[in-house]
Amino acid sequence: MVRGQLVLFLTAEYCLTMWTIVDDSAVLKEPLLSARLPLGCLSDGLVDVTFQGRPLGWKKWMGISGGHDTELFRQHDYVRGNDLNCCYAWKNDRGTTLETSWRVLQMESSSVGIELLISVQDHPPGETPVISVGTTVTVQECLLLDADSQRWSSFDRAAAPTLLETPGCILCRQEDCDFSYLEMLYPADFGAGEMLAGNEQPVEASWTFQLLLDQLEKGVIRRSRLQGWIIPRDGDQQQAEALFLQFRNAPCRLGT
């Protein structure tokens, strides 16, 4: 028997923690993926993104705009397992809280994803919260999956801006990359959307999803969810379809 010795047993959840909060940022370090989330500016989204050690050069990944971003302030944030949870409120005492939960998703050794869950509560009666999420990435081509018909179409950069009506997936391919980027908004959470493309090289594509939150009564919480995946380029459409069906059929988690 050994006396005077303290033995600690670390849980699997603790060992898998991938987020670290440092000052005003949350840093993600995952075997395939790394990124930084500026906690004081939701509209920036995830920045400094690298995949397999390669900087992706994306300007914005799932940046959140609430229509009153300059008035939002952080209340608290914490890490639990693979989840980064943050709570915000409006400085002018609008009675609204906005919570975000960023969860790391893993399917296989060559794919990694992020699920963003946004919760809004106690918006003043008679007003409709306007929350949107935007992404800007460099692309070679983009494919759009219609949520109703389950058919793919090519995004025509020359015809941009394009209104997104029933988006299932946005699948982006970059030049000289063996991986693709997939982003999905849960169909019932979609309010409106728009997609743009620049003329410079490399081409940048930007899109914004406006979430369907409606008017909230006191005490009601409305949740919306998105997923962003980096997946192998080979067979990316088939994998995107499978991920979308899985996402569409999965129940919404309760968040924080």
Rounded CA separation 173/179 (Å): 7
208: closest CA among 191, 188, 186? 191
Query: Where do we find the tokens 């939701």?
Result: 42
Q: Can you tell me the distance from the alpha carbon of 132 to that of 224, in angstroms, rounded to the nearest whole number? A: 10
Q: What is the pLDDT of residue 217?
A: 61
CATH 2.70.98.10 fits 23-249, yes or no: yes
> What's the CA gap between 225 and 8, in Å, rounded?
37
* Angstrom distances, CA of residue 146 to CA of 53, 141, 241: 33, 17, 11
pLDDT of residue 89: 81
Give the pLDDT confidence score for residue 98 in this predicted structure.
86
Q: Which residues of 24-46 are buried (b: 16+ CB within 10 A; e: fewer)?
A: ebbebebeebbbbbbbebbbbbb
Q: Which pLDDT value is given to residue 51?
A: 94
Q: What is the pLDDT of residue 12?
A: 35
Per-residue pLDDT of the chain (256 residues; tens, 9 = 90+): 334 443 333 333 334 568 999 989 999 999 999 999 999 888 899 999 999 999 998 999 999 987 654 567 788 899 988 899 999 887 765 667 889 999 999 867 789 999 999 988 765 655 566 789 999 998 889 999 988 888 999 888 776 688 888 778 999 998 888 999 999 999 888 888 899 887 776 788 999 998 866 665 666 677 889 999 999 999 999 999 999 999 988 887 775 5
Tell how strand 111-121 and strand 72-80 pair up. Answer: unpaired
Q: What is the pLDDT of residue 9?
A: 31
Nearest to 210 by CA among 187, 190, 182, 224: 190
Q: Which residues partner with 98 through β-bridges? A: 88, 120
Q: Give the model's pLDDT for residue 251.
A: 81
Q: Residue 174 region, left (φ>0) first, then alpha (ψ -120 to 50), else beta?
A: beta
Q: Write down the pLDDT at residue 63.
A: 94
- What sign does the CA torsion over 129, 130, 136, 139 have? positive
Largest distance between two CA atoms of the chain: 76
Instruction: Report the sign of the C-alpha dihedral through residues 154, 160, 166, 172, in that order.
Output: positive
